Structure 1
Amino acid sequence: MNRRLTGVKQKKSRVKWVSLTVLMVAGISYLWWYWDSSRVESMESASGFHMKFRTTGDQIEVYQDQKWQPFFVKGVNLGASLPGHYPGELPITKEDYLRWFAMIDEMGANVIRVYTIHPPAFYEALVSYNRQKEGEPLYLMQGIWSPEEMLIEKKDAYLPEIREEFRHEIQDAVGAVYGDITLPEKQGKASGKYTANAGPYLIGWHTGTEWDPVMVQNTNKLHAKSASYQGAYFRTTEQSTAFEAWLAEMVDTVAKEESKQGWQHPMTFTNWVTTDPLSHPGEPLYQEDLVSVDPTHVKAASWEAGYFASYHVYPYYPDLFRHDTALQQVKNEAGEIDTYKAYLRQLKVYHKDLPILVTEFGVPASWGIAHLGNLGRDQGGHTEKEQGEINAALMKEIGEEGYAGGIVFAWQDEWFKKTWNTMRYELPEDRRSFWINVLTNESLFGILGMYPNKDGVLNIDGDRSDWDKLQPEEKQKLNLSLPGFEEIWMAHDEGYVYLMAQLDHSFDSQKEQLYFGVDTTPGGNRHAPELGGTKLDEGLETLIRLGKDDESEARIASNYDFHTRLYGKAYGMLPLKEEEQRDDSGVFKPWKLAVGLAMEPPDSKKYYPMEEVDAGKLLRGTSNSEDPNYNSLAAWQAKGKVVEMRVPWMLLGFTDPSSLTVMSYQGEGKTFKTVTTKGIRVLPWIVNREKLQTTSLPESPTPFRVTELPLYSWPTWEQVRYHERKKQSYSILQKAYREIKPSILQK
């Protein structure tokens, strides 16, 4: 009996000891995170708050070596997605973050900006990385996502459901940064237990998203009597509007939540050129200069860490960067009219003693273009080298004009992104992340490239040896018997269709042209001038011509051309020729992308015609990133008998290659229809320039049977294969970040 009781007591004692040990380990773990983060040098403010950063005049300052010193932000925006995923799926692991932080640090950046709450792994990785890092840590600018869709839809920021959702997001963000919250699972949101205290590595809070001008105007109109806010830490001036008062309230809410953690950090809210406080008489569209959201109308009342202005400023949007003569008065070091530099200067003058950060800037390294900019700083159409040079130049101007820093957009490519001039052609919409459409510029802003699986495996360089190394299941030989050709092979990945043709002679682009007709769906051109006298039994949707630099391109059958169907038939912005809309018109048109819609009163101040660019140009070069002559936009190369080519899926009519979906000839209006293809048929031929005739296609009264050509096909895919690689722009931006001498640090 006594022994039994003693045994029970011993068991209970062991249970208590185990429980106590678990609690101690958990407590030590929590204290370790907190203690380690708190080793960051900070000072205690007069009101008892810890401070690492503050604003003074037009500067951001950091407390370092027991004194306040100017701090210039050299940052990078970090997204939340990987290829094959959408941001709400939160696929990035702690190992990914740690690897990226090392690369970002090596690039010379000192700040990482995120737009919304990331999973616990992000904050754990940041604390872990900074713990082992020598010297200054990587700092965090935490964004707080506003209810953007509800704001745009309902056009009233004061609605209770919008305010409530935004307040909850603020509370969650502060809890996540300070490792003091457990977020339940919610579709499209980060969740889990947050224990890593990243607060001491914070540089500031970035509240909200880009504001829709119509929503701002409507909010001001509906709540004109609510144009003032006097909070515990932030207030508005007498000049404020209702929307600015609402913003002041949200920023004040962030301050209240952070004060509970015993810290203060500088505050800002998101803004962009569309809602800046400047007047732009040369902006064509009224809506782009409709209303202002003025950061100078919000003041820090008793927030010692201070407040700064933040703007997203790209050199190509809105169109005022090309059309506003008020911005055409400033020249850069090269003596060129530089409207970006002029805009930065005007904005800086307006904000006087308030620090300004350009929290988004940059250009994408994409085939596609969506807007044109001054000095060739377009939204797309750049090689990786050009991307780096432009981004470095923009960052230099930000520093020269006395800004507190710049944060380049973006760290990694994001395949799921969409762009206004290609989004209608990407169908089904929910499969965008399964392939990389290089015509969609928004997907390719990254400094860290996310490349489809055959990048670096099949190099476009005129050397067939990498084809010979491919596994049999990775390629397909087209059994063709046509004069001039010995072999033709095809392959594909998530970004391109690849083709290698070995001729029976060396290809000379000065003496001949090489054509590839592509058939994916019934319809198209069964005859064309380029075919000579040959007639086909099935039409071609795409015609690819390789020759001299100015003539190498992909063209599209005129009645299949979705650019003309959308902007000609549906919108009436392009002229239509009835004969070109017929089946088998015999016309192949240049593959165009819209870069500016026709603008006319009352939406614009005067008439502006539609603008478009040729997206089908195929550049000769090498896609081998190890080659000194590497060109990230290279489409083809020929050496001796071998011709290699890669073609973006969309140029071949694909709306989603992962499900073998192509654009249909059917469909009127603004909505397109698609069909499932069985694959791709390719008809190659050669044209001799001297004889002006094809050398590989028969001229016969009997149509050439395209339907009997080999079919290149592949299985659908639900998972993507990709790899990451630093773009050429990385080293260029690295050099700029290390060498930049901003005026703010020279005062």
Structure 2
Amino acid sequence: MNMRRFIFFTALGLLIAITGGLMFLQQTSAKNRVENFSVVNHVFIKRTDDKWTAITLNGTNLTPVQPGTFPGEEDVAVETYVEWFKMMSELGLNTIKVEAKMPGRFYQALKQYNDSVDSPLYFIQGIYFDEVALKDGEIPLAEHLKQAYRTEIKATIDKVHGNKTFWSSIYLFETESVDVSEYLIGYVMGVEWGIDDIAISNLIFDTSTYQGDYFFTKGQSTPFEAFIAEMMDVAANYEFNKYLQQSLYSTAGHLGMLHKKLYDSTEVKEHYDWIRSYATADMEHIGVTERLHTGTFASYDYEGFNVFRSQDTDLPSDQILKLVSEYHTIPVVISAYGVPSGRFCAEYADHEPTASISEQRQGELTAIQYNEITENGFGGQFLRDWQDAWFKSSWNTVELKLPDQSPYWHDPQTFGQGYGLIGFTADSEALKYPDESIEDWGNEKPFLSASSGDYYVHAGVDYLYLMIDPVKELSASTSTVIGFDITPLSGHTYFEKFDITFDRPVDFVLVLSEEGVQEMYVHAYYDTFSFRKMAQQIRVRPDLLPFEKAEPLFVKMYQFTDSSALSQMDHVTDLNDFRLTGAFVRGISDPSDKRFDSAADWYSTKDHLEVRIPYALLNFMSPASQLIQGDFYETHTITPLKIDGVGLAFGRVDEDETIVFPTVRLDWEEWFKPSFETRKKQSYQLMKDLFMEN
């Protein structure tokens, strides 16, 4: 009996001690809890010296890349990051958003920079979800993917807090990470979720509710939203239990049922894909418990609102943004906005006179989007890219190049590379800007010396540069004709437009005249646009070739502006699906010149002519490795073909004579790491002026 009493009171004492200890730990944890940012209604607030002040997030997305590198390679130096941070602050930005764990050098540079300034840069940390698995058709809610994501959540939080583990980084031999959690605003869960990923998850899984320590679902929540709430709970528990810190949370939003709400509220005709009604990722369906003292915010890509503009509505952009802002009870940020610069910008140039967008125009169009956002009560906005990204492709060029070699050369035909306000050029020794001076050709030897003058060629990491130094002055009516022998598998010697015969078959002919034609033409059989327009039919009926290989026909060059023309077999191509891309623009392409036009392709005076030609316009898949598009009519798809240089044939057409020189072969050394220099684009200064006004 005494033993039982002893055991009872001993157990009771232990229980009281444990309970008291837990209560003490909870009180201590609550007392020591770190909250640097929170929200009040639609507003972000930040703590400074124990005082809370409102803050509007004005930032940019940042990917750890530069020419020659992919995300995942720790190649950007600490000094480069610091220089970028200085330029960001000078621009008027206060926040950086990253989509995944960054190299240790990024966090080291952020701390180094912030320690040296009075106004630090804050950041939003993305927690990456396996996009490869999603592209392979797997469902986000699959248990093995959820388990892998729990691991990624913990590894990312550890990285932010400077507690790098073996599993927390994909960057081998990286610089040790540092604790930058004091600058952390919050976490964005996952990636830009695909509509199909969300919709299929909601159709297959049944559990649409979740109740956790920090998050719960509410309203008409979906299984996908329950999954997001659960993963947020994993993150909040881990960060608080290990680091006593609480942060803000969000995920990439999809309008889903919000489409209906907005349409109903404006009595606009419902007119969207049935599947979209199941593609809901709405932060209004995820609530927070009393244990979370920070909050949540909604996040949308500006491009996500384009669905309204493509559905026969009369809603202007600012009205759409206003409706979205008013719908939410929490702060809303535009996770990515901005317009690219480039030689062919597809749908971004729908209302522009040509398919190109200059850096000047990029700044003007991006400023319009910024003003629409700030005038409609959003909590912040992020530029789509800080720097131009050579590794990227666009929907209309992805099959025309080799993704594993894309970072090694610049493609102005790919608009996805041009969103940045910071650009990259070939190093100063290799720059050959078409302008009024030919001093930058001083170290080059003539590619061809002839009775009519000297002809120079330089294969850069961004363009194929040509310069003509004629003996006889170029008049406004002089037509310079250049034939390009790219592929050994096709081409023709006769160019009917100028009644010119080359000594060897050529695949492209460029004609430049100050008062006449300024355009590139392609041999019809090697015209990628014509092939892609009917590729799916050709795979079914290979006998339906639109052109003969030996046909002496050269055609204008076009590119697609509507993705449905490529993705839908029964789509009937019309004039709204494509635009001219072979036209060349005359102008000054030297950024130091007051007349600078980044969209310019060529320039001439009476004494010389200079032109820069995008490799993609010559059907290169990778000039770094001299890989071009093969015979797509033979293979029924676009595949690479290795070549040993290209042939160039120069010609000149004047009123009194026509001269065409024999084809000369051009070869160049393959490269792996491009040499480059960094510069601020014209759009940088335009946005800086705008931010300073606000």
Instruction: Tell me the equivalent position of 1:655.
Output: 621
Structure 1 residue 246: deviation in Å?
0.3
CA distance in 1, matches of 2:639, 2:519: 26
Give me the TM-score of the superposition, normalised by structure 2. Answer: 0.88
Distance 1:345 1:647, change over 3 A: same
**Who is 2:310 aligned against?**
323
1:364 pairs with 2:340: yes
- Structure 1's unaligned 5+ residue stretches are 1-43, 330-338, 698-703, 741-747
Deviates more, 1:362-371 or 1:621-630: 362-371
Q: Which residue of 1 aligns with 2:417?
A: 443
Residue in 1 aligned with 2:23? none
Following superposition, the deviation at residue 479 of structure 1 comes to 3.3
* Candidates 256, 261, 271, aligned match of 2:253: 271
Measured after TM superposition, the shift of residue 355 of structure 1 is 0.8
User: Take 1:426 and 1:635, find their aligned partners in 2: how far apart are those partners?
Assistant: 21
| TM alignment of 1:249-264, pairs within 5 A | 249-260=230-241, 261-264=243-246
Q: Mean Cα displacement is larger for which, 189-198 or 123-132?
A: 189-198
Which residue pairs with 2:326 in the alignment?
349
Contact 1:370 1:419 in 2 (8 A): no
CA distance in 2, matches of 1:739, 1:405: 16
Tell me the residue number matched to 2:180.
198
Of the three residues 297, 301, 317, the one matched with 1:340 is 317
User: Structure 1 residues 160-169 or 340-349, which shifts more?
Assistant: 340-349
1:363 alignment partner, SS class: coil
Q: CA deviation at 1:622?
A: 1.0
Shift of 1:601: 12
Partner of 1:530: 497
Question: What TM-score do the two structures reach when normalised by structure 1?
Answer: 0.82
In structure 2, what is the Cα distance between the partners aligned to 1:606 and 1:346?
35
State whether structure 2 residue 198 is matched by structure 1 residue 219: no
- Give the Cα separation in 1 of the matches to 2:506 and 2:174: 53
Output the CA distance in 2 between the equivalents of 1:674 and 1:537: 26
Between the aligned partners of 2:611 and 2:455, the Cα distance in structure 1 is 11
Q: Give the superposition deviation at 1:562.
A: 1.2
Q: How does 1:174-189 map to 2 (within 5 A)?
A: 174-184=157-167, 188-189=170-171
Aligned with residue 544 of structure 1, among 497, 510, 513 = 510
**What is the aligned partner in structure 2 of residue 736 from structure 1?**
690
Contact 2:435 2:604 in 1 (8 A): yes
Q: 1:554 aligns with which of 520, 523, 528?
A: 520
Could you tell me how far apart the structure 2 residues matched to 1:607 and 1:478 are?
Answer: 43
Q: Answer whether contact 2:536 2:569 (CA < 8 A) is retained.
A: no
- Residue 6 of structure 1 aligns with which residue? none
**In structure 2, how many angstroms separate the alpha carbons of the residues matched to 1:376 and 1:286?**
32
Cα contact 1:286–1:603 (8 A) shared by 2: no
Do 1:234 and 1:300's aligned partners in 2 also have CA atoms closer than 8 Å?
Answer: yes
- Decide whether the 8 Å contact of 1:284 with 1:605 is kept in 2: no
Percent identity over the alignment is: 25
Indicate if the aligned counterparts of 1:228 and 1:238 stay in contact, CA closer than 8 A. Answer: no
> Which stretch shows the higher mean deviation, 232-241 or 66-75?
66-75
Deviation at residue 294 of structure 1 after TM alignment? 1.6
**Residue matched to 1:410:** 385
Amino acid of the structure 2 residue aligned with 1:145: Y
Alignment CA distance shift 1:58-1:373 (3 Å): farther
Match of 1:503 among 450, 454, 470: 470
> Aligned partner of 1:675: which letter?
L
Matched, 1:630 2:630: no
Report the CA distance between 1:132 and its aligned residue: 1.3
Using the alignment, how far apart are the partners of 2:29 and 2:350 within structure 1? 46
Number of the residue aligned with 2:8: none
SS for the counterpart of 1:535 is strand
Alignment correspondent of 1:246: 227
- Counting matched residue pairs gives 657
Which among 650, 653, 659 is matched to residue 696 of structure 1?
659
Structure 2 CA distance for aligned equivalents of residues 444 and 273 of structure 1: 27
Q: Quick one: distance in 2 between partners of 1:602 and 1:437?
A: 26
Change (3 A) 1:728 1:599: closer
Matched letter for residue 589 of structure 2: S
Asked if residue 467 in structure 1 is aligned to residue 454 in structure 2, the reply is no
**What are the Cα deviations for residues 290-346 of structure 1, in whole angstroms up to 9, with x where unaligned?**
6222221111123111111001113xx6753543343x24xxxxxxxxx32222112
For residues 454 and 414 of structure 2, the distance between their equivalents in structure 1, rounded to whole angstroms, comes to 33
For residues 384-423 of structure 1, the aligned pairs below 5 Å read 384-423=359-398
**Among candidates 452, 458, 476, match of residue 491 of structure 1:** 458
**Alpha-carbon distance between aligned partners in 2 of 1:632 and 1:50, rounded to the nearest angstrom:** 48
Quick one: which amino acid aligns to residue 252 of structure 1? D
2:484, 2:172 → 1: CA distance? 44
SS in 2 for 1:292: coil
For the residues of structure 1 that align with 2:301 and 2:31, how far apart are their CA atoms?
33
The residue that corresponds to 1:50 in the other structure is 34
1:696 is paired with a residue of what secondary structure?
A: strand
Which residue of the partner structure matches residue 620 of structure 1? 586
| Cα deviation, residue 252, structure 1 | 1.5
RMSD: 3.1
* 1:477 matches 2:447: yes
| Residue from 424, 431, 437 that aligns with 1:457 | 431
Encode CA deviations 1:212-248: one digit per residue, 9 max, x unaligned.
Answer: 2222122112212x10000110110041010110011
Match of 1:22 in 2: none
The residue number in structure 1 matching 2:577 is 611
Letter aligned with residue 87 of structure 1: P
Q: What amino acid is the match of 1:228?
A: T
Q: Does the CA contact (< 8 Å) of 1:489 and 1:501 recur in 2?
A: yes
Amino acid at match of 1:424: E
Counterpart Cα distance in 2 of 1:451 and 1:376: 25
Question: 1:28 matched to which residue of 2?
Answer: none
CA 1:669–1:680 in structure 2 vs 1: closer, same or farther (change >3 Å)? closer
* 1:507 shift after superposition: 2.2
C-alpha distance in 2, partners of 1:714/1:275?
55
Between the aligned partners of 2:327 and 2:515, the Cα distance in structure 1 is 47
Is 1:156 the counterpart of 2:139 in the alignment?
yes
Counterpart amino acid of residue 147 in structure 2: E
Letter in 1 for 2:400: Y
Q: State the 1:181 CA deviation.
A: 2.7
After superposition, what is the alpha-carbon deviation per residue over 1:530-574, rounded to whole angstroms, capped at 9, x for unaligned? 241x4334211111111257841212111000121122243579x
- In structure 2, what is the equivalent of residue 308 of structure 1? 297
